[in-house]
Amino acid sequence: MEGLSVADAQRCILETIRQLGSEEVPLQQALGRTLAEDVQANRDQPPYDVSAMDGYALRSADVTQSPTVLKVIADIKAGDLPTCTVQAGQCARIMTGAPVPQGADAVIRVEDTQALTADTVQINVPVKPRNDIRDRGESMRCGATILPRGTELTPGAVGLLAMVKRAQVAVYRRPRVAILSTGDELEGLDEPFDANKIPDANSYALMAQVQALGIEPVLLGIARDRPEHLREMLQRGLQFDALLVSGGTSVGVHDFVRPTLEQLGVQMKFWGVAMKPGHPMAFGTAPLTWVFGLPGNPVSSMVCFEQFVAPALRCMSGLPRLYRRTLNARLAHAIKHRPGRSEFVRVTLRQEGDTYIATSTGAQGSGILSSMAHAEGLLIIPAASNGFAAGDTALVQLLDGTAFQSSPAGE
Amino acid sequence: MEGLSVADAQRCILETIRQLGSEEVPLQQALGRTLAEDVQANRDQPPYDVSAMDGYALRSADVTQSPTVLKVIADIKAGDLPTCTVQAGQCARIMTGAPVPQGADAVIRVEDTQALTADTVQINVPVKPRNDIRDRGESMRCGATILPRGTELTPGAVGLLAMVKRAQVAVYRRPRVAILSTGDELEGLDEPFDANKIPDANSYALMAQVQALGIEPVLLGIARDRPEHLREMLQRGLQFDALLVSGGTSVGVHDFVRPTLEQLGVQMKFWGVAMKPGHPMAFGTAPLTWVFGLPGNPVSSMVCFEQFVAPALRCMSGLPRLYRRTLNARLAHAIKHRPGRSEFVRVTLRQEGDTYIATSTGAQGSGILSSMAHAEGLLIIPAASNGFAAGDTALVQLLDGTAFQSSPAGE
């Protein structure tokens, strides 16, 4: 038995996830959070008809033919409240964002004019009514919902909140996350060097993956292979919204983790997913905590995090987009695969014209963490696949840190 | 004169950028930073040949035919240092990550065996030499450079640093960034509501864009249209590595910003880029500061930030990837364009089979910030383009917050 499919395991997890409660945060801390309220506009924006250009506010009827010379009767900048009225043959010098004065029904940009004297200007092109005027309420109408509950607060959304003067905003709480490594073979980051031990990389790789989601996790350290110590550490972890335990979840005889979790009231939903790397992935729920049993190998653990933990943590945070973005890439080389498990191959990406080309980072052993450190994406081989030939197209899941590329757009 | 092309403006900026100095940070703060040193492996990893599976360590010569029954002489778990030697007809129960005992040259996974008694096991399949053994030094060899200077510290890289016990690491300093809005028409977030004023959205949208790069900026507030006040605020901003000034950089007569910057010793490199939105974009350098003059319209300002400021701040931080990732998308509808300026159209994206489909977020007025709040990407219309027909393919620059998608991979 190979275990659940990746998709079934994702569904099994997400079916149990509840969105956490909400809290008020200052706008300075709102980026990346999910709105827990509908936000309405508190005014018309712009509050009056404004110029979209630096230029001259005029009566379009005066400039149906060009060139035309007009008299400049005022000088209006953003923030002014003009009192003048533009009459036939007149215009007002106006800046971008400044209110359009009475009488004027269009704006001509300064580039299409020529100042003749201090108070006369030649308009070089004909101008249509409403040209380069932004209408009152064009950006937002007072009372309209501009950001619905559930919106992910991107920089643009943060700007929009500032636009409606929301210095505080209700967002969903982010999960509190605990990370625990297990195993006598592990050496902690602050412990002395022992050539026979294996440094605990998992805690820190998982820490960074959680940080990449905007959450600061708590590292509980290493639980040793003594039942009472493991039990105490797991108990501490169950105080959090999410507990990530790495190691100790496979089927070996020295596995205390699963029975100990069960004794502590965790209901295991699955152990084993038909994937490579990551087969020993397990998941369970306690009344207040979701427990993710991650493989002991750092690469497996990281791949499982991306497939199962990241979507779950984002779901708890109320975020609408749960899964790492995918794109299609052409394979630089063949990849073998025996049907049975989904496989995630660490790849680098390069652009060639319109196409992304994916190349394996090399040896794919699940202990080879450097392959993960240098990867830009995970190429997905579906469970039923017989492998890919060079030039085939496959789906690549982008990894953290790949929101940016080396070349400017189109190069 | 339409100004520099986007690419020329990017080059002009990046030619002036110096990578900042380095600093030591704890591993907990290393994510997203750039390594300022070469990092070497401090040991072989794994430190000995280890099992890649839970199963039995055996002599492959004993199991050239199957099934074969072997005697179990030991029980080895990860962290053990086995003293036994596996002789002909013998094997040792072994866990993933545990050292392979002397005499054994292969591992068979437990799924391919059947325990007969407490100390005998039937091996059901033939096993090749080295099967499921991870070689000593497979993941890393002591002394080898595993992460070169200039590497962006992804979660995998952070894990690798933990693997070589680097609790502290040298990274390039991130720029200190100041944000200043200008204009009498602006109303600060904490100022009372005035229907005739325009809330200062720019400061907060830019703040969030800077935060999205992992940098906490300093908001200087709003400089009013009085020369001495503006001068004082700009002077304060020039104490930072990067100063972002929004508003006041277009060609209107009330523009104090440019001359004041020049009086303060800023050498302006350009003002005006042939792009829409974002035309009034300006850039200058002072001895210790890079100055970005951003348009007063929030959308223009945000688009310019993505094209010019983000690459510059990432370059100062020593990061290898400077530009927002792009992908090709098919247009859901036609888009008009008059040759002259590059245009950036806010779009949403959806996946349809192998293809991304881009749809405009609607009205593209540069004051319409909601179009930016809901956008997933910026579709790029090259300056020389005559527009696109529905179904055409165009380049889309992904925006922050889009590292994730709604559907699991391939759905």
Residues A339-369 pLDDT 10s? 999 999 999 999 888 889 999 998 776 667 8
- pLDDT at position A1 is 44
* Same topology between domain B22-45+139-172 and domain B50-134: no
- pLDDT at position A278 is 87
Shortest Cα–Cα distance, B269 to chain A (Å): 20
Record: contact A167-B190, CB cut-off 8 A: yes
Lowest mean pLDDT among A78-82, A188-192, B202-206, B373-377: A78-82
Record: contact A78-B155, CB cut-off 8 A: no
> Please, are residues B134 and B49 in contact by the beta-carbon 8 Å criterion?
yes
Architecture per CATH, domain A50-134, reads as Beta Complex (2.170)
Cα separation of A305 and A295, whole Å?
Answer: 10
Per-residue pLDDT reduced to its tens digit, B251-272: 454 578 889 999 999 999 999 9
For residue A311, report the phi and psi dihedrals to the nearest 5 degrees.
-60, -40
- pLDDT at position B256 is 81
- Give the CA count within 13 Å in the CB-facing half-sphere of B129: 2
% chain A with pLDDT above 90:
76
Cβ neighbours, 10 Å, residue A367: 25
- pLDDT at position A304 is 97
Which ipTM score applies to this complex? Answer: 0.89
Measured between beta carbons, the chain A residues lying within 8 angstroms of B404 are 314, 319, 321-325
Burial (CB < 10 A; 0-12, 13-18, 19+), residue A148, is exposed
Shortest Cα–Cα distance, A351 to chain B (Å): 9
Q: How confident is the model at residue B80 (pLDDT cuts 50, 70, 90)?
A: confident
* Chain A to chain B Cβ contacts (< 8 Å): 389
Which of B400, B190, B194 minimizes the C-alpha distance to A166? Answer: B190
CATH 3.40.50.920 fits A326-398, yes or no: no
> Please, are residues A47 and B198 in contact by the beta-carbon 8 Å criterion?
yes
Cβ neighbours, 10 Å, residue A362: 12
> Please, are residues B160 and A373 in contact by the beta-carbon 8 Å criterion?
yes
Record: contact A159-B54, CB cut-off 8 A: no
- Match 């105080």 to its residue by tokens: A239
- pLDDT at position B249 is 56
Q: What is the pLDDT of chain B when averaged over all its residues?
A: 92
Residue A28 reports pLDDT greater than 80: yes
What is the fold, at CATH topology level, of the domain defined by B22-45+139-172?
Molybdopterin biosynthesis moea protein, domain 2 (3.90.105)
% chain B with pLDDT above 70:
96
CA B195 to chain CA centroid, Å, is 40
Token pair for B194: 């005035």
The residue-averaged pLDDT of A64-77 equals: 92
The residue-averaged pLDDT of A291-310 equals: 94
Cβ neighbours, 10 Å, residue B264: 16
Cα separation of A71 and A88, whole Å?
Answer: 9
Nearest residue of B to residue A297, measured between CA atoms = B97
Residue B336 reports pLDDT greater than 70: yes
Per-residue pLDDT reduced to its tens digit, B220-230: 999 988 889 99
Residue B299 reports pLDDT greater than 90: yes
Cα separation of A76 and B186, whole Å?
Answer: 15
Record: contact A407-B158, CB cut-off 8 A: no
Beta bridge partners of B285: B267, B290
Q: In one letter, which amino acid is B104?
A: A
- pLDDT at position A290 is 98
Q: How confident is the model at residue A130 (pLDDT cuts 50, 70, 90)?
A: very high
CA angle A21, A24, A25 (to 5 degrees): 120
Shortest Cα–Cα distance, B197 to chain A (Å): 6
Q: How confident is the model at residue B10 (pLDDT cuts 50, 70, 90)?
A: very high
Site from A369, A372, A380 to mutate, B interface, most B CB atoms within 10 angstroms: A369
Beta bridge partners of B118: none
Structure letter (DSSP) for residue A400: T
The residue-averaged pLDDT of B280-294 equals: 95
Per-residue pLDDT reduced to its tens digit, B164-187: 999 999 999 999 999 999 988 899
For residue A62, report the phi and psi dihedrals to the nearest 5 degrees.
-75, -20
Domain boundaries, chain B: 6-20+174-316, 22-45+139-172, 50-134, 326-398
Cα separation of A377 and A380, whole Å?
Answer: 9
- pLDDT at position A366 is 65
- pLDDT at position A253 is 43
CATH 3.40.630.30 fits A22-45+150-172, yes or no: no
Exposed e or buried b per residue across A164-187, where buried means at least 16 C-beta atoms within 10 angstroms of its C-beta: bbbeebbbbbbbbbbbbbbbebbb
Question: Selecting from 1.10.10.10, 3.40.980.10, 3.30.300.250, 3.30.420.40, what CATH number does the domain B6-20+174-316 have?
Answer: 3.40.980.10
The residue-averaged pLDDT of A365-380 equals: 86
- Give the CA count within 13 Å in the CB-facing half-sphere of B185: 27
- pLDDT at position B136 is 92
The residue-averaged pLDDT of B47-73 equals: 93
Record: contact A162-B205, CB cut-off 8 A: yes
Q: Which residue has the higher pLDDT, A25 or B194?
A: A25
- pLDDT at position B1 is 45
Nearest residue of A to residue B353, measured between CA atoms = A328
Q: How confident is the model at residue B354 (pLDDT cuts 50, 70, 90)?
A: confident
- pLDDT at position B253 is 43
Cα separation of A59 and A286, whole Å?
Answer: 71
Dihedral sign computed on CA atoms, order B289, B8, B394, A375: negative
